[in-house]
Structures are given as structure tokens and as C-alpha cells.
Chain A
């Protein structure tokens, strides 16, 4: 169903979303400052950050709901300020609170959204059926939106954002209020959306980013502090192991072992060893056996997004104080 959409060839290579030097102030309060990034077709970008970091503000500015104080946003080549109509035509947006009319039924509401996005009247039922199928709303067509659960309202919100087949989809915390099965369905939906369009996804659920996104950006206090592909996140970082010994030894002794780059003492008998790239803990085992250290725990550590997130958002906070 998604493969029916054709995105003009020029967009495939060019960035679909281009954010340049974006700043936004609320009175004197700076919500985001000098944010720049771009997004190509077929990319899913995860926007991470602690509460109040400026995620929602960024999304609101990109979708044209807030005017930027400085900087530019272009969507599919159209400036959101100069040519809002063309830019918004290429954009689907799910705000933090799904913008649903509680007094309408699902079919009416989605039909109205389709008309707002200038889908010709004859093609509206077809478009409504398609998004209902994509978002698992087939059974809910005649229900009053106000009577549906939060999860369903969230799905209606997503359906509304993709009803006009936009090449750019912006979802602000799309899985809030969903049950685990729905979350999995929505993640699959987001991934399938991301195969042909650009998706920007804001969330504070870290596993969601690792499960759905091609690229991660971490934002803190309005500034972009991290930007990498999820792939590089899963490999390419330092390799560390955590060990526990029965005998309390000096960490100099551990440092002397071949292939150990750095040693951190955690507490008595517990250490974190950072190994040189390509090294394995054989030498450590041999040393322990020879000198009777009584090694009883050896846990390889992989740096997860969570560690990174906490490290980044925490250390900078400490630095600020």
C-alpha cells in the first residue's frame, strides 16, 4: 500500500528536511538554539532528550505551528515561512496531544482531515480506508472518538498524519499511552513509513529509538549534543568488561596485563577493564589462574543508548554547575 506513492527523483538524493541554524525563544527563554540538521528520504530520525529539552518545540517549528525566532526550515525544498502551503502539503504532523475532535466519529474525522489536505472528494473514502488499515482502526470506523481509549486516539492521530501520503512525517511521542502490542505495531508502521519517506520521531523511550530509527540525535537544553547512526552506536565504541575477584588486589596489577588500556576500580574486588581494540580477556584469565585472584565474574559490557544518554545529559549538567 505504501509502495503506491512516488516521490519525485530529485528528493531521493536531496535532503527532504533541512533545518538550518534554528533558534526559538519564548520571551527571553531560549527553547532551542542554533539547531541544524538534515534528513534524507527513507531515513528515520530519532529525537531524544530529557523533558523540557526542546523536542516538542523543534517539532512545532518544523511543522509550522510555531514561527522560528531565527533560522530556516525547508521541507521538500519549500521554506516553511516563505511557502507554507507547499511545505505543509509535503508534511504530516502528529502533535504531542493528538488533535482529534471528540464529538466526531473516526470515519468523519479522517474524511475531514483528508479534505483539509486537499485530497479530491472522490478519493477520500479510499484514503480513509488505507490509513485505517495501516493504523489498525478497521473496527473503529463508526465509534465516537471521545469514547475511544487513549491508545486508539493516538492511532487516529497517526492516521491523520499520513492520510495524504506525505514524504515527511513528524511524530511527537507516537507511542505514549499504547499497550505493548500496539507499541510493537506502531513501531512496525513507523519502520514501514521510513522505507520511502523521512520520519522524525521524538521520544524519551530509548529502546524505541534503537528499534526503529536509522539515526539518533540527542538534544539537551535546546542544543544538539549528539548525532550518529544507530548502527555505529551498536558497534564501534570501546569494549569493556566488568570483573569481580575474591582477592582484593591493587589495580596496578591488572593494568600490567597485556591488552588492558585502562582500569576503573568499582569497589573492593570489582573492576571495570577497558580492553584495547581486538584484545580478548585470555591474558586476564591466565593471570588470575596463575596468581590465584579467584575470578568469579566476567561480564562483557556493551555501551547502550541508555548509558550514552545518561552520560551525555548528565556530564554536561555537572559541567554546567
Chain B
């Protein structure tokens, strides 16, 4: 049942030009950056060779590329998640799902899985660029896998937060802007660490950037994975609670 809803969600995204435009814009922007990074790598290669711990092509080209990708997607994911529940509320189609023999969790998980499938498509397309390096050189496969997983988890978290904020309102614009606000806040929350005294390890732990960075560098840390999975679970549970609560109002 979850799968039926997920398929419909994914399908509906591709019915509007939005999904296509998003995929195209990201691919063009990052493709350009990938090529410039690659160019820089060729220029810097002689100097890099002299360093003791020589950074590879993955460190110089791919990690910075994915850092930029994460920031671009932070702005774009709210546009993808904004419609998932808000649109159904506005068009009053949510009652179709609610009157079907489905639990609220199945509905929410179905919606989330649909978003996740889109994320997989998106990240897989981005990963084609690093994979193309295999044509001329040998990038670090383990690191690429860690980057791929890191991107999936990051965007999966974006999607869960976006889904929750979409369930709070009928207005898609409000859903998009508030999602963007929450994501950006989580991204920059550790900035304060430098300017204030005292222990800011909690703020640093909360920061999305912090956890993303280590995965991009190929460090596969269980605490990072736990962080993402906790956030995803928390926001999915909140979404289910929100929809259940609305029946009581």
C-alpha cells in the first residue's frame, strides 16, 4: 500500500514540469562546476604531487562539488516537498486517502517514500559526474560510496522536514519558505560556536553541515548516520501526529 502511494507521488512529480526543471537546472549548474573543478585539478596537479599526503582527484574535485550541491539542494528541496500534503489539503483530495482502508502512517510513509525515490534519482544523476572520472583515472571508490550515502541521507532528512512543514499548511508557498528557513537554520546553527564562550558541542552536533562534511570526506561515522535517521524518524512521526490531530479539530 505504501508502495502504491509512493508510485503515485513520484509519478505526479513528473507530471508537472517542476521535477524536470529541477533535475535539469541542478545538472547544468553542477556539471559546469565539475568541469571547472577538474580544470583546476589539472592546473594544480604538479603542486599537489609535492605534498606529503597527496590529495586525490576525489578530494579535490568531488568533495567540493558535493558541498556546493548540498547548498543548492537546500534551496531546491523545499520546492519539491511543498506540494506533497499542502496541495492535497488545498484540493481536498486528502479525504480520498483518509477514507481508504489505510492507516495514517501508511499514507505518510507512502508520501515520504515517493520523495525518497525522487531523491535517489537526483543523487544518482549527480553521481554520474564522479563516476565519469573512471574513464581517465581511478577515484577512491569507498569515498564515492560514502559521498553517495551522505547525499542520500542529507536529502532524505530535507525531505522529511519538508513533508512535515507541508502537513502544517494548505499554502504551498508557506510550506516552501518555512522548510527553507528550518533547513538553513539547521545548516548554520553551529556558527555561533566561534563567537561565544563555553561548550557548544550540542549546537555543533545539531548542525546538518557538520555531519555532512565528515561523510563527504569519506568518514563513515555511526553517530552521523544515527543523527540523520533520528531526524527523519522524528519528522515522520510529527507528520503522522499532525494529520491525526487534524481529524480532532
Contact = CB atoms under 8 A, between A and B. Distances in A.
Interface of A: 26, 60, 63-67, 84-86, 88-89, 91, 93, 95, 97, 99-104, 112-113, 115-118, 160
A89 B103 CA distance: 12
Interface in B93-107: 93-103
Residue among B4, B16, B99 with most chain A CB within 10 A:
B99
Interface residues of B, number: 23
B93 A99 contact: yes
A86 B102 CA distance: 10
27 contacts: A63-B95, A65-B95, A65-B98, A65-B99, A66-B247, A67-B247, A67-B248, A88-B99, A89-B101, A91-B99, A95-B92, A99-B92, A100-B93, A101-B91, A103-B12, A103-B15, A104-B15, A112-B4, A113-B100, A116-B1, A116-B4, A116-B96, A116-B102, A117-B101, A118-B1, A118-B101, A160-B96
Contacts of B16: 103
B99 A64 contact: yes
User: Which 8 residue pairs are nearest across A and B when measured between Cβ atoms?
Assistant: A99-B96, A116-B100, A99-B93, A93-B99, A88-B101, A89-B101, A97-B92, A67-B247
Contacts of B91: 99, 101-102
A26 B96 CA distance: 22
A84 B93 CA distance: 19
Interface string B62-104: 0000000000000000000000000000011111111111110
A278 B98 CA distance: 54
A25 to B, nearest CB: 10
Contact of A64 (B8, B15, B96, B98): B98
Nearest to A170: B99
A116 B100 CA distance: 6
Nearest to B93: A99
Interface of B: 1, 4-5, 8, 12, 15-16, 91-103, 247-249
A85 B16 CA distance: 32
Contacts of A99: 91-96
A100 B96 CA distance: 8
Given A88-B100, A97-B92, A103-B12, 11 more contacts: A26-B249, A66-B247, A85-B101, A99-B92, A99-B94, A101-B12, A101-B93, A104-B15, A112-B8, A117-B100, A117-B101
Contacts of B248: 67
A64 B247 CA distance: 8
Contacts of A103: 12, 15-16
Contacts of B4: 112, 115-116
A112 B97 CA distance: 10
A43 B104 CA distance: 31
Contacts of A88: 99-102
B28 to A, nearest CB: 26
A312 to B, nearest CB: 30
B95 A93 contact: yes
A116 B4 CA distance: 7
B85 to A, nearest CB: 14
Contacts of A160: 96
A15 to B, nearest CB: 20
Contacts of A116: 1, 4-5, 96-97, 100, 102
B96 A65 contact: no
Contacts of B96: 99, 113, 116, 160
A37 to B, nearest CB: 20
Contacts of B1: 116, 118
A67 B248 CA distance: 5
B93 A85 contact: no
Given A26-B249, A103-B16, A84 B92 contact: no
B129 to A, nearest CB: 32
A86 to B, nearest CB: 8
